[in-house]
Structure 1
Amino acid sequence: MKSIKIHFLGASCTVTGSKFLLESQEANILIDCGMFQGIKELREKNWEPFPVDASIIDFVLLTHAHLDHTGYLPRLVKQGFRGKIIGTAPTLGITEIILRDSGKIHEESAERANEEGYTKHQPAEAFYTIREAENTLGFFRSEEIDHWITLTKNIKYRFQYNGHILGATFIELDISGKIFVFSGDIGREHDLLLYPPKKPEYADYLFVESTYGNKLHPVESVSEKLVGLINETIENRGTLIIPSFAVERLQTLMFILWKLYKENLIPDIPVFIDSPMGNNVLSVFQKFPDWHKIPPKDFIAMQNRMNIITSYKETWETIDNPRPKIVIAGSGMVTGGRVLTYLQQLIDRPSTLIMLVGYQAEGTRGRQLFEGAQEIKFFGKYYPVKAKVHHIESLSAHADQNGLLDWMSEIKNTPEEVFLIHGEPTALDAFRVKIKDTYNWKATIPKLNEIREIKIEISE
């Protein structure tokens, strides 16, 4: 009888910072390696030393490429990690884009804070640099989905298609016959771009996300909502600003707008795409057509319909353009990126409309706007919010409570334990009760930095 120690190093009693370390005598495996986002208390945890010696970790298995699942990788390498970082090819392709872009943003943010003096640190430092991001890429190794891959004598794993974003999977980890399933972020059954997520068939220990564990997505027509906002933008000769996640959400919005234009449901209003990371992700979509639903010819036509901004000079030209227009810019929670420049200049105008899409984490500017903030702080200064703020939740890439329960519905055995992760406290507790009522399974809510020990038979 041996033991497996599970370290809950992130996304525990909170949504972001996904990191789960399985410590065993054969190998130490980290599932995801994400950054904390949101409130200052969480963001500051990114700067703390990693809770275990990074050099003892043999493998990092990635469920998908989002920053809260991959954004800590350069810091892990900096602290001594020398193992393998394994994901699907699209996941690693997008992760490379995200890490390079994040390194650039970290460098620029530190430089700007030092130049303009709105930092308490002397000097402000980048969380990681472009070079440190690039140093991480040498540890990448891609693997296919749907087949078991051996790590050690008694440990093997398998990636399974999970929707959510391009390349996303859930991970099945077989340790001496015991199946540990890590859900990652679960996609939706009916998605414009992606296929439905697969479902696990066996799970002795199930680690499941709970972002919308207490909610059902509203039944609303995204197209009708967009048509209304676009017509209002034209009437007011204003700007419709859509802060967007660069991965998946941006491509979905482009596809919806292209279809509306193609079907003559909206006039010929210019659409500006201002997301360097999102532009790079478009190339990953083209490289992996089997992972999504859009035919290549439609994908090219969609891009040709948009004005793809490639320089900061063009960003300012777009802001100064007096025509009614749509701007889609990163980031989706208004935490950084080009959207800050647009909002800094246009948020105090009543003719500006802001459409938030998807989940807005606690402590982000997106959450503040969603909750009706009268002023927002950018680059050390406050700006009054006179723009109208709208929210479309049904574009979320996460399954809601019913979707999460359905994802578990084909598990043939009764899990020994279900660990609820990646959720805010109210969502976690509501989902715990729902799982008990639906399946009569034991579900627990691990705390951040909690360590659980599981006894397991391991053959010699």
Structure 2
Amino acid sequence: MKIKFIGGAGTVTGSKTLIESNGIRILIDCGQFQGIKPLRELNWEPLPVLASTIDFVLLTHGHLDHCGWLPRLVKQGFKGKIYCTSPTAAVTKLILLDSAKIQEEEVRIAHEGKFYQQEVPEPLYTVEQAQKVFPHFRVIKINEPIPLDAEISAVFFNAGHIIGACSIEVTLENKTLVFSGDIGRDNDVLLNPPTKPKKGDYIFLESTYGDRLHPNTDAKLELEMYINNTFVKGGTVIIPSFAVERAQMIMYLLWQLKEEGRIPNIPYIIDTPMGINALEIFINNKHWHKLSLEDCTEMSKMFTLVSDYQETIETIFDQQPKVVIAASGMVTGGRVLTYLEHYIGLPETTVIIVGYQAEGTRGRKLLEGAKEIKIHSKYYQVFAKFIEIEGLSAHGDQKDLLNWLSALENKPKKVFLVHGEKVQLDELRIKIQEKYGFDCKVPLMGQEFEL
């Protein structure tokens, strides 16, 4: 059996791990690279194996860095099955269609403004190409073995993180491989804690927050403070948010604050069509989260749901103080860029970052204090206040990741650390070896191992 790390090795994006065993090829996740340009350029490269020779894709969840390369895979000849949970199938459809629309729109803007120097830009994939992925989906039930081949099976089990997200246990050649996917928090506001694996010969563990602990602060209180401070200044609060789970969590917390009379009576706006649709996924999958149907219905009444672009423009030029939740979470595209073009130069604006910002993304640059930022080929001076509420992250921290390993009844032959940047990977490697004595390996992009 061979394992090849095609993506998500030494970086938090582009997750792809290839298993080869007795003529069967299985791809765990098929993510899009984000962040710095050298990573983004990898999205245009073909896989090191022919897409037509891959039999199955096992999809842990529907975030772009885990599912966003599926349209390219299908375009390059993949004809197999994509196994995932029902919420993941629904989320992935939203994510891919939204990503394709954003790419088509950015290419249109580039052509109209001639914002390119040499090659004429084109989208990584179109809406039509994204739609060709969906017939490949096969929805599975969690905690039930799925036969992939005569001697290969897989079991999906809850990972927290976002609705429908799972870790995956693959059994083949008398070995058990466990792929964590992205691990959620043990005390998440909306989702149940991750299920811990009981066995595993080889563990593939994400390391996004492998070097840090989330602060023991009250995220709800922080939201209250920042919103009230901005309101006093007559400013607008902008919250770039991942449309799935983060947006719904923020809605829930703001609704609680409003019910408790702790934040002002101003407009609260959801300007992410995908986030609005994701709320429907929560309503249709009640057993996956802690919210009741009544909670979902009541909190929605507090928000103005913006889906039409003309409404976005009207909201932007409405000068009264307001709170806007808009995608994307790493400020890489989407409606939030339109808001920032207008508000980033105003010192009374507060931008609240509520999720992980990958290396090279606008969100990372702005959090690190960038004084100037490029949006749609134009540079803007940054006078808005950028702050981070770490307590709203969907990723488990170092403590959560270590805890996820705590129920193993056997000592793994090896733990591969993936989906993290260099410092996070190495810090987590040291902690795992100190706490459990497990043999840890940090694979490089493109590296292959025989198991």
TM-score (norm 2): 0.99
CA distance in 2, matches of 1:382, 1:26: 51
> Percent identical across equivalent pairs?
52
- 2: distance between equivalents of 1:341 and 1:396? 24
| 2: CA distance, partners of 1:377 / 1:233 | 25
Matched, 1:451 2:440: no
- Within a 5 Å distance, the mapping from 1:122-201 to structure 2 comes to 122-201=119-198
| Residue of structure 2 equivalent to 1:287 | 284
Alpha-carbon separation, structure 1, partners of 2:221 and 2:321: 19
In angstroms, what is the RMSD of aligned CA positions?
0.8
Distance 2:201 2:171 in 1: 10
Q: Report what 1:272 is aligned to.
A: 269
Letter in 2 for 1:142: V
Query: 60-69 or 104-113, which moves further after superposition?
Result: 104-113
Tell me which residue corresponds to 1:420: 417
| 3-state SS of 2:132 partner | helix
Which residue identity is paired with 1:307?
Answer: T
Q: Distance in 1 between matches of 2:86 and 2:221?
A: 36
Q: Using the alignment, how far apart are the partners of 1:231 and 1:285 within structure 2?
A: 29
Shift in Å, 1:237: 1.1
SS at match of 2:131: helix
1:397 corresponding residue in structure 2: 394
Q: Following the alignment from structure 1 to structure 2, what is the Cα–Cα distance between the partners of residues 48 and 90?
A: 29
Which of 70, 78, 81 is equivalent to 2:78?
Answer: 81
Query: How many corresponding residue pairs?
Result: 451
| 1:54/1:79 contact within 8 Å kept | yes
Instruction: State whether residues 270 and 307 of structure 1, in contact with CA within 8 Å, keep that contact through their aligned partners in structure 2.
Output: yes
Which of the numbers 345, 355, 366 marks the counterpart of 1:369?
Answer: 366
Aligned equivalent of 2:13: 16
Q: How big is the shift at 1:121?
A: 4.3
Report the CA distance between 1:26 and its aligned residue: 4.4
Q: Confirm or deny that 1:57 pairs with 2:83.
A: no
**Residue in structure 2 matched with residue 330 of structure 1 by the alignment:** 327
Normalising by the residue count of structure 1, what TM-score does the alignment of the two structures yield?
A: 0.97
Corresponding residue number in structure 1 for 2:99? 102
- What is the one-letter code of the residue matched to 2:201? D
Equivalent residue in structure 2 for 1:321, among 318, 322, 331: 318
In the aligned structure 2, how far is the partner of 1:121 from the partner of 1:84? 38
Give the Cα–Cα distance (whole angstroms) in 2 for the partners of residues 272 and 374 of structure 1.
Answer: 27
Residues 111, 124 of structure 1: 8 Å contact kept: no
SS in structure 1 opposite 2:133? helix
Deviation at 1:120, TM superposition (A): 3.1
332, 348, 351: which one aligns with 2:348: 351
What are the superposed Cα offsets for residues 119-151 of structure 1, whole Å, 9 maximum, x if unpaired? 234421110000000011111110000111111
Tell me the distance in 2 between the aligned counterparts of 1:329 and 1:408: 35
Say if 2:307 is the partner of 1:310.
yes
Asked whether the 8 Å contact 1:106–1:127 carries over to 2, the reply is yes
Q: 2:108 aligns with which of 89, 107, 111?
A: 111
Task: Tell me which residue corresponds to 2:32.
Answer: 35
Task: Report the CA distance between 1:269 and its aligned residue.
Answer: 1.7
The residue identity in structure 2 corresponding to 1:349 is: L
The 8 Å contact of residues 5 and 22 in structure 1, kept in 2 or not, is answered as: yes
- Alignment partners' CA distance in 2, 1:26 and 1:303: 50
Structure 1 segments, 4+ long, off by >3 Å, are none
Residue 387 of structure 1 corresponds to which residue in structure 2? Answer: 384
Classify the secondary structure of the residue corresponding to 2:7: coil
Residue aligning to 2:206: 209
Unaligned runs of 5+ in 2: none
Distance 2:117 2:431 in 1: 45
Which of 257, 275, 294 is residue 260 of structure 1 equivalent to? Answer: 257
Q: Whole-Å Cα distance in 1 between the matches of residues 111 and 31 of structure 2?
A: 26
**Residue 3 of structure 2 aligns to a residue in which SS?**
strand
Aligned-partner Cα distance in 2 for 1:121–1:375: 25
Q: Does 1:236 align with 2:229?
A: no
Letter in 1 for 2:126: T
Distance 1:40 1:100 in 2: 23
Cα contact 1:39–1:362 (8 A) shared by 2: yes
CA distance in 2, matches of 1:215, 1:393: 11
Equivalent position amino acid for 2:307 in 1: T
Q: Distance in 1 between matches of 2:414 and 2:151?
A: 21
Q: CA deviation at 1:177?
A: 2.6
- Contact 1:26–1:152 (CA<8 Å) still a contact in 2? no
Q: Deviations over 1:281-328 (max 9, x none)?
A: 111111111101000011001111100002111101111111110011
1-structure distance, mates of 2:278, 2:118: 34
Q: Is the contact between residue 185 and residue 398 of structure 1 (CA under 8 Å) also seen in structure 2?
A: yes
Question: 2:220 is paired with a residue of what secondary structure?
Answer: helix
3-state SS, counterpart of residue 138 of structure 1: helix
Q: 2:296 matched to which residue of 1? A: 299
State the secondary structure of the residue aligned to 2:239. Answer: strand
Amino acid at match of 2:211: N
Deviation at 1:36, TM superposition (A): 0.5
How far apart are 1:239 and its partner, in Å? Answer: 0.4
CA contact (8 A) 1:239 1:353 kept: yes
